[in-house]
Amino acid sequence: MAIRVERIPSKEALYERAVAIIEEVKAQGAHTFGLATGGTMEPLYAKLCDTSIDFSDAVSFNLDEYVGLDPTHEQSYNNYMHHHLFNQKPFKASYLPNGLATDATKEAARYEALLNEQPLDFQLLGIGVNGHIGFNEPGTSFDSVTHVVDLTPSTREVNARYFDSLEEVPHKAFTMGIQSILRANCILLIAIGESKRTALQALINNDYTEQVPATALTKHPNVIVLTDLVK
């Protein structure tokens, strides 16, 4: 099945469509939800919080988390999720890697084991300017599972806007691997803004290459892409 691309110029309408997709998969029995963070997801979570969708019987797994940040740190993804979603829409259980784990490699393996025990019904994704999904940067093996990554200078610079300075941005992060993501039954990718056009076009063109991690999705049977980029 080809990737389904829906081009919706209005961001308001695009996020409403994303909410409708999540509501639909939940109604169809989705129980485990893979979630993402970042500026792209904030309007989506705000809209979800205004709905009657009940996640209290569902389980969530986050794509990634910084290594070295306490879960209560203002810029941890644990804190982000509670602020933008969980405090308003609690799940039965919500899993994120432990940023303060003493052995990061063992923590990555623990998280991957949890994902295998509770397979994802749905995965939400954004896309980086360079085509990264999660923190899987260009060159990441398509066979990768949850692992620790060294954040590239460009990724740290992009994320520095959330910190007081670039120096405060962690150098490492946990991320679901490409294979971890591809195991989800349904994947929704949201691409907002002109800066995402090149990466998105590689995905739409079926340019299957590890230099653009998102193109791994071309081998998945059930991917929906929502974008405000018109042809």
The Cα 173–Cα 166 span in angstroms is 15
Q: Which of 79, 130, 185, 222 is catalytic?
A: 130
Q: Which of 65, 112, 132, 136 is catalytic?
A: 132
Q: Which of 64, 65, 112, 228 is catalytic?
A: 64
Contact 95, 62 (CB under 8 A): yes
The Cα 131–Cα 145 span in angstroms is 18
Is 57 noted as a catalytic residue in this protein? Answer: no
Residues with Cβ within 8 Å of 199's Cβ and at least 6 positions away in sequence, in order, are 127, 128, 129, 130, 131, 191, 212, 214
Is 159 noted as a catalytic residue in this protein? Answer: no
DSSP state of 213: G
Of 105, 112, 100, the closest CA to residue 68 belongs to 100
Q: How many residues are given for the chain?
A: 231
Is 222 noted as a catalytic residue in this protein? Answer: no
Residues with Cβ within 8 Å of 119's Cβ and at least 6 positions away in sequence, in order, are 32, 183, 184, 185
Q: How many CB atoms lie within 10 A of CB 101?
A: 18
Is 147 noted as a catalytic residue in this protein? Answer: no
Between strands 32-35 and 59-62, the pairing is: parallel
State the residue for tokens 């994704």. Answer: 125
Q: Which of 65, 107, 112, 137 is catalytic?
A: 137
Query: Edge-to-edge strands of the sheet including 147-150?
Result: 64-66, 172-175, 147-150
Residues recognised as catalytic: 64, 130, 132, 137
